[in-house]
Amino acid sequence: MDLTQAPTASELRAGPSVDSWNRRSSFLLFSTPAVGEEEMLEVADTLKSGWITTGPKTQQFEAAFGNRVGASSALGLNSCTAGLHLGLMALGIRPGDEVITTPMTFCACANVIEHLGATPVLVDVEPDTLNLCPKAVEAAITPRTKAILAVHYAGHPVDLDPIEEIARINGIAVIEDAAHALPASYKGRLIGSGDNPVAFSFYATKNLTTGEGGMLTGSAELIARARTLGLHGMSRDAWKRYGHGGSWFYEVNEPGFKYNMTDVQAAMGLAQLRKLDRFQARRREVVAAYTNAFENIDALEAPTERPEVEHAWHLYVLRLRLGALRIERNQFIDELTARNIGTSVHFIPIHIHPFYQQKYGYQPTQLPVAYESYQRMLSLPLHPMLTDADVSDVISAVLDIVQRFGR
């Protein structure tokens, strides 16, 4: 990858005009799905087949995905949220239980715990990875604790060994949110390859997309129960009822949900899965260029990758060192927007959302690492569709802002 045209920090200190770096004629979207002819052909094949809901393509995708991550069993769903909900249900989480999780995640993680009548117990994160802190998890265990919901933030795996040891000692379960973590590995183990329930996301911005969609992996027994719960609690899905040799008869054994994946989604997923390694190689090229440009800049803290993991690099979360700047995070984002660079923030911590503040009395500084990091973080564009010129524009814009607003 040739990114030598991006200006260096020393070049920027010479003081170029704002206009000289505002070269983009169009806005660079924060994330663009990498969808091409292969996906279109797979979807067209499904549409022509006469079977577009859950059926043979979903079965193929479940098998192919399970094989890719080393899972013993996999269930295609309409979202990662559905996977988290079903995973917790299959673990037996019920009203009155407590589930320990992170504030540095999307609201779905806490919401599904609430939906089950359980209590989300938020604990702080580690300063480098922004993942769950095992010591904080251990300190939060009570007799009501029934599970730990670990989120692989930005694609960097959680430190699973100590968390799983805490769970083993206390007789509780671990469920993993891998919405960002395809493909990632921890100490040589692919995320999704164990017996823990692990929920993946195929939302439009994710490393693999089906537009909307998700996958739950885990033990065969757990996935079998989740499969029933995920389609109204019925004993037979549509393919088993209406396919060749199927039977119309079914029974509802418990009230379930409408969480099934469709064959149209699965068709996209099959094409995306074949390209995943190529997508990841490009993501790593972009990450390397960003980190090379930012890691020695006093005002910037580049994301980390611990030596024992393989990061999936769903997000590139840059943290500003505000003491070295004359502007705050929000103005930094505004400056990038003015230079036609799209960004986002991942995430607004759960404990400062009104519902969770009002119900549980959380104060922003109660989880200091998460709150302090939130105030200075932004996510830069990171996806396989970025060109070298796009990456150069992002680097140029960030360094220009640092030069102009540095102390």
User: Do the domain assignments include residue 1?
Assistant: no
**Residues with Cβ < 8 Å from 286, sequence gap 6 or more?**
316, 382, 386, 391
Other beta carbons within 10 angstroms of residue 347's beta carbon come to 24
User: Do the domain assignments include residue 190?
Assistant: yes
Strand order in the sheet with 145-151: 73-77, 214-218, 198-201, 173-177, 145-151, 98-101, 119-122
Q: What number of H helices and E strands is found in the chain?
A: 15, 13
User: Do the domain assignments include residue 4?
Assistant: no
* 357, 332 contact by CB (below 8 A): no
Same domain for 155 and 76, yes or no, is yes
Angle at 79 between CA 89 and CA 44, to 5 degrees: 140
Q: Tally the domains of the chain.
A: 2
Same domain for 288 and 203, yes or no, is no
Last residue of one domain, picked from the residues 249, 272, 295: 272
pLDDT at 377: 98
Same domain for 162 and 67, yes or no, is yes
CATH of the domain at 228: 3.40.640.10
User: Do the domain assignments include residue 295?
Assistant: yes
User: Do the domain assignments include residue 3?
Assistant: no
User: Do the domain assignments include residue 2?
Assistant: no
User: Do the domain assignments include residue 383?
Assistant: yes
Alpha helices by DSSP H, listed for 295-341, are: 329-338
Same domain for 128 and 201, yes or no, is yes
Same domain for 150 and 79, yes or no, is yes
Same domain for 198 and 135, yes or no, is yes
206 is catalytic: yes
Same domain for 222 and 89, yes or no, is yes
Same domain for 235 and 322, yes or no, is no
Token readout for 336 is 């990038």
Last residue of one domain, picked from the residues 226, 241, 272: 272
CATH of the domain at 306: 3.90.1150.10
* 133, 126 contact by CB (below 8 A): yes
* Helix/strand/coil for 336: helix
Last residue of one domain, picked from the residues 251, 272, 293: 272
Same domain for 153 and 293, yes or no, is no
Q: Considering 206, 240, 258, 359, which one is annotated as catalytic?
A: 206
Each residue's pLDDT, cut to its tens digit, for the chain (407 residues) gives 333 334 443 433 333 334 545 568 999 999 999 999 999 999 999 999 999 999 999 999 999 999 999 999 999 999 999 999 999 999 999 999 999 999 999 999 999 999 999 999 999 999 999 999 999 999 999 999 999 999 999 999 999 999 999 999 999 999 999 999 999 999 999 999 999 999 999 999 999 999 999 999 999 999 999 999 999 998 766 556 566 677 778 889 889 999 999 999 999 999 999 999 999 999 999 999 999 999 999 999 999 999 999 999 999 999 999 999 999 999 999 999 999 999 999 999 999 999 999 999 999 999 999 999 999 999 999 999 999 999 999 999 999 999 999 99
Same domain for 132 and 90, yes or no, is yes
Alpha-carbon radius of gyration of the chain: 22
User: Do the domain assignments include residue 217?
Assistant: yes
* Helix/strand/coil for 405: helix
Q: What is the DSSP string of 47-89?
A: HHHT--SSSHHHHHHHHHHHHHHT-SEEEEES-HHHHHHHHHH
* 339, 390 contact by CB (below 8 A): no
pLDDT at 244: 65
* Helix/strand/coil for 290: helix
pLDDT at 2: 38
Same domain for 287 and 388, yes or no, is yes
Token readout for 227 is 């499969």
What are phi and psi for residue 60, nearest 5 degrees? -65, -45
* Helix/strand/coil for 360: helix
- Residue 344's domain comprises 9-33+276-405
Same domain for 335 and 257, yes or no, is no
